[in-house]
Structure 1
Amino acid sequence: MGSTFHGVIAFALMAALLVIGSLLRSRLPWLRTAMVPGSIVAGLIGFMGLSLGLIPGYGPKDFTSLAFHFFTLSFMSLCLTGSPKRQDDGQRSGVTMGGLWLTLIWTASLGAQAVIGYGLMAGYDALSGQHLSPLLGAIVTHGFTQGPGQALTYGNIWEQGYGITHAAQVGVIFASLGFLAAFLVGVPVARYCLKKGLNTNRDSTLNADFVAGFHPLANQPSAGRQVSHSGTVDSFAWHIGLLGIAYVITYLWLSAMQPLVAGNRVLSVFFSYNLFFAHGLTVCVLMRLAIDRLGWSHRVDDDTLKRITSGSVDFMVVATLMSIQVAVLSALLVPILLVAVAITLVTLCGALAIGRMSGRFGPERALTAFGCCCGSTGTGLLLLRMLDNDFTTPVPKELAFFNIAIIVVNIPTLFFFAPIAPALGAWTYIAIFGGYALLALACIPLLRRWQQRTDAAQPITQEPSLP
């Protein structure tokens, strides 16, 4: 049985580091002030331990697959979660409009980051003569705007299918730097907005529980409902089982399709296991539709699924940071930092500029979008809590719409062009991703007119604006 422990202990190490990182986050004042999540602290400790050889028998590659699967699990559980309760027409219109502003920022960021990263890496290669692929810079958009899972997914496809050396590793590094940028830059911006009173929720302060990292005994929220009797099956095990069904269906679907598309390079990429999350997402959406249509929604607790999503994201962050190979990081440190710093500044300026134009709740949308474009939706939500700690603004609801809209709007780039990016050619790649960014920006006048009509229907005494 000894041979079975290697993978289990790798997961146990991540879990143990999450405990250590969270405790350090709650105990050390400078970590509390920076609002650094415990998962990032845990991942950095794990990265240092692996780099210094303090975890014998384990290396970065042992955690790469865990990062991939926890990313996939987080997406699938999110899509298996039910939709929020219906709102009246006025509320729905306002949330849709706000969600479109967030979608516009995200879509523009996806395209702009790809083009800027491509150009900077190409320029650095021309000056240094290292013969680096410009796509090693372009993958920053999948690490920043999309997150570790997609960076690893597309990096593996580019590396295995097109010979882009170290694409997956560079993608993981960019994803890790994106999380760090979101908090190192986003938190000071949020504090500035609070100090200047730019946020709409003027009663919002940094919640003591949020700062401390743990809830006191008298103020611990519920983590979901028990939908099954423990004498039959534990409710948490039941929900893991539902995701297990989706995982098996997705695996069988891909296994059946791969022989049928073996002669087509593009379809072979689309139906590869590297895009498991995209197919799993679809399976979970269809499963949820079936559950609701059959009247079985009372057998699924959305809060439990949200906990699975959040927990998966925590483990994904730890695994991502522990997947970084020091040799790759040190060899490409200068171009990676150059691209990461430039992308952070451009993303921040773009989010602030478009947020200013979005009207009411502009500061909240700008900061939320910046977090989403440097890490994940969870990162954006954490930054939003600083300006709206009790979620009285509609921006959290706008995020629910945003999560669906960004997938629908970006289907061509994410599921068709990104996987085959190395085969497109430089100018075709720049035209597609740059064109998508310009198209998003061209929608600003339309959204502004819609925003003005919405704000006119719901006047407020004071409209905050970004500096």
Structure 2
Amino acid sequence: MSPEVIGFSFIIIGVLLILGKTLRVFTPFLQKAFVPSSILAGLIGLLLGPEVLGQLGVELFDTGGLFPESMLNVWEELPGLLISVIFASLFIGKTMPHVKKIWEVAGPQVTFSHFISWGQYVLGAILAITILVPIFNLHPAVGALLEISFVGGHGTAAGLSGTFSSVGFEEGMDLAVGLATVGVLSGVLIGMTLINWGARKGKTEILSSPDDISEEQRKGMIANEEQDEAPAGHKTTRSEFIETLTVHFAYIGIAIGIGYLILEGLILIEEAFWIENIEIFTHLPLFPLAMIGAILVQFYLNKFKQNVLDPGVVKSIQGFALDLLIASAIATLSLAVIAEYWAPFLIMAVTAVSWTVFCFIFIAPRIMPDYWFERGIGDFGQAMGMSAAGILLINLVDPESKTTAKEGFSYKQLMLDLIVGGGLVTAASIPLFNAFGPVPALIVAAIVMTGWLLLGLLYFGRKKQSS
């Protein structure tokens, strides 16, 4: 594959992202639905590619559609590369708060998010045991798809493509990305419906009416007078010697490199000492260990007082990688796989969405000691597929951060993403389901889920009653 093809593939992805943004700005329905531009870009790419336009007989290239096979091959590889950038960026450039402070501010949200996540494992395993494996003859690892797709999102779903293939569940990646797309779209749409319901029923404590949401928020734009105040980051190095963006990108690369070394070490240990017929680390992807690498890099920088990283710049790099990942993953989605497995796909989608809505309406008010709607709506958005969707929904109900919802959401990530939502458990779930089957997974997940529920009800719930 030539460098020209790789470069041109990035250019076309950029064009698709601009088309998605333009479509959103000039379409009131998409503004009201708060559909991310990256999803629109991916859908445009999907429509113009071999899966839709090619099936209608338009064949500009041999693959059908408007894109050559070599370009599609580049796009298919991007998610597996970019997911490590995204997860390494989670802990780079951040001051690690004390665990006690995290728990005081974000404890209820940590508990609630873990309950949703482990509940998706429980429901996924039940579906695998009762319907998906015996009736539709799917791979046992299908039980992990709900948590991978909804709490994990596009990045995790696409980033696990190699793991799906290594256990013989190739169709799992397309099903996971499709479910993630359903999750994000329904999450934002249902989230807006819940916000309208909450504001009118007096459930929200800050937002008094849905009409309070500004036009700039709906369009995803920043007003001219506020653009200079946008937190795009600060320069930490002199450009004549090395550009600030270069330094940040380099440290993210070092974090990924450390994660790679850790993974290779774990594989060697497994090959030397582990049971011969069970492979866990061999199928483990790189991106959760990139988070470990990022923590080690940040610890080093803090230890030697190297203040060269800025959270705003890191966030921009992470957002850039996420936009490219979502657009490329959806644009290369195999609709044929989803069409073949449309019934199990629909069953999993309805189950995951229903579970998450149930948790928000009935569990969140009983766990959150204060501002249950503002806190819970962010966790709801993330559990439907995107952390960005969670932040978006919090910003809509609490635009001036008068509650602890946004702060708690940020702290919660430190105690969530390392475990589920793309963390070590999520990444290991496919190998574990493959090695031991869905029944042991169901037992373990049910125990953990129950533990989180009891903690929320008996500890944080009692705090709410006492206050």
Under a length normalisation based on structure 2, what TM-score does the superposition of the two structures give? 0.87
Structure 1 CA distance, aligned partners of 2:401 and 2:332? Answer: 34
Structure 2 CA distance, aligned partners of 1:251 and 1:12? Answer: 29
CA contact (8 A) 1:199 1:363 kept: yes
Q: Partner residue of 1:437? A: 449
Counterparts of 1:40-189 in structure 2, within 5 Å, are 40-50=39-49, 51=51, 52-53=53-54, 54-58=65-69, 61-83=73-95, 92=101, 96-125=103-132, 129-154=135-160, 156-160=162-166, 162-189=167-194
Give a deviation string over 1:294-322, Cα, whole Å, max 9, x none: 1112x211111111122222222212212
Give a deviation string over 1:334-362, Cα, whole Å, max 9, x none: 21012101210111111221221123211
Structure 1 stretch 24-33 or stretch 102-111: which is displaced more? 102-111
Paired residue secondary structure (1:262):
helix
Following superposition, the deviation at residue 44 of structure 1 comes to: 1.1
Change (3 A) 1:125 1:81: same
Unaligned residue ranges in structure 2 (runs of 5+): 55-64
Given the alignment, which residue of 400, 420, 432 partners 1:390?
Answer: 400
Following superposition, the deviation at residue 114 of structure 1 comes to: 2.1
Structure 1 CA distance, aligned partners of 2:373 and 2:220? Answer: 24
Following superposition, the deviation at residue 380 of structure 1 comes to: 0.7
Following superposition, the deviation at residue 197 of structure 1 comes to: 3.6
Following superposition, the deviation at residue 253 of structure 1 comes to: 4.4
Give a deviation string over 1:33-81, Cα, whole Å, max 9, x none: 1111111111111121222233331376542321122222111112112
Structure 1 stretch 343-352 or stretch 202-211: which is displaced more? 202-211
Matched, 1:200 2:212: no
Structure 2 CA distance, aligned partners of 1:139 and 1:173? Answer: 11
**Aligned residue type for 1:391:** S
Unaligned residue ranges in structure 1 (runs of 5+): 457-467
Runs of 4+ in structure 1 off by over 6 angstroms are 84-87
Structure 1 stretch 137-146 or stretch 35-44: which is displaced more? 137-146
Change (3 A) 1:317 1:33: same
Q: Partner residue of 1:231? A: 240
Q: Partner residue of 1:269? A: 280
Following superposition, the deviation at residue 168 of structure 1 comes to: 2.0
Paired residue secondary structure (1:359):
coil
CA contact (8 A) 2:259 2:291 kept: no
Change (3 A) 1:229 1:271: farther
**Aligned residue type for 1:133:** H
Matched, 1:314 2:323: yes
Structure 1 stretch 285-294 or stretch 165-174: which is displaced more? 165-174
**Aligned residue type for 1:191:** N
CA contact (8 A) 1:385 1:391 kept: yes
Matched, 1:348 2:361: no
Following superposition, the deviation at residue 451 of structure 1 comes to: 3.8
Change (3 A) 1:202 1:144: closer
Q: Partner residue of 1:463? A: none
Structure 1 CA distance, aligned partners of 2:427 and 2:416? Answer: 12
Matched, 1:401 2:406: no
Change (3 A) 1:415 1:48: closer
**Aligned residue type for 2:298:** R
**Aligned residue type for 2:137:** H
CA contact (8 A) 2:148 2:426 kept: no
Structure 1 CA distance, aligned partners of 2:159 and 2:120? Answer: 18
Given the alignment, which residue of 350, 359, 373 partners 1:363?
Answer: 373
Structure 1 stretch 24-33 or stretch 417-426: which is displaced more? 417-426
Percentage of matched positions with identical amino acids: 20
Paired residue secondary structure (1:75):
helix
Under a length normalisation based on structure 1, what TM-score does the superposition of the two structures give? 0.87
CA contact (8 A) 2:161 2:170 kept: no
Following superposition, the deviation at residue 191 of structure 1 comes to: 2.1
Structure 2 CA distance, aligned partners of 1:155 and 1:432? Answer: 25
CA contact (8 A) 1:266 1:420 kept: no
Q: Partner residue of 1:376? A: 386
CA RMSD, 1 decimal = 2.7
Structure 2 CA distance, aligned partners of 1:223 and 1:279? Answer: 27
Matched, 1:448 2:466: no
**Aligned residue type for 2:142:** L
